[in-house]
Amino acid sequence: MLTVENTKAWLLRFAEKVEANKAHLSDLDSVIGDGDHGNNMARGIKAMQEALESKEASDPADVLKNASMALLSKIGGASGPLYGSAFLDMSKQAKEDASDVSAIFRAGLSGIQKRGKAEPGEKTMVDVWHPVIKALESGELTTDTITDAVEATKPLKATKGRASYLGERSIGELDPGAVSSSYLFEAWLEGED
């Protein structure tokens, strides 16, 4: 069940993780992308933190929508519209039913796929969202699920996004978007303890 309080607390934990790993995200991105994922995400989550603290929210859907707008406006790279779509569609689903967290995350995934047109196996953030939601739906989500999903992007060859220009050379590297998405889910799990 999402509430205003636990949704805010979750997203603030996500923000802390992104901030703490900003350099790591940019390092990963400099190998297979344009090296800006850490800075872009940090700029976005800073705006998100400010929005969460300053904007009124009467339900968890509002919290998610405020996060969506901040990320969309401030990230500046491809992750902006991707996370923006994810949070916007999670917000719409939370408006319908805030009690079903799996359905909310599933709506987020479909938002990402609608925007980025990626399928599982293409070395993108979808490769974390997809298995994590499956595990959540069957009540088996653990930190290992998340870590394994991120690690599983390593042997994949990128066929979507900027890393796809590298072709074979993308094999053996982690996908930065998959890593930043893992922070979102780790932050969620920490609130479930």
Partner 1 sequence: MSEIGIVLSSHVSELAEGVYKLLSETAPKVSITYAGGTDDGDIGSSFDAITQAIEENEADHILSFYDLGSAKMTMEMAIEYSDKTVELFDVSFVEGAYTAASLLSGGADYDRVIEQLKPLIIK
Among 78, 126, 156, 179, binds partner 1 (CB under 8 A): 78
> Judged by CB, which is closer to partner 1: 145, or 181?
181
Of the candidate spans 79-87, 118-126, 131-139, 148-156, the one that interacts with partner 1 by CB under 8 A turns out to be 79-87
Q: Return the number of the residue (116 or 131) whose C-beta is nearest partner 1.
A: 116
Is residue 40 a contact residue for partner 1 (CB under 8 A)?
A: yes
- Cα within 13 Å of Cα(69), Cβ side: 9
Q: Which is nearer to partner 1, 64 or 187 (CB)?
A: 64
Smallest distance from the beta carbon of 80 to partner 1, in angstroms?
6
- Distance CA(108)–CA(87), nearest Å, equals 6
Q: Are 41 and 184 in contact (CB under 8 A)?
A: no
Residue 188 CA to chain centroid, in angstroms? 11
Residues in contact with partner 1 by the rule CB under 8 A: 36, 40, 72-74, 76-78, 80-82, 84-85, 115-116, 161-162
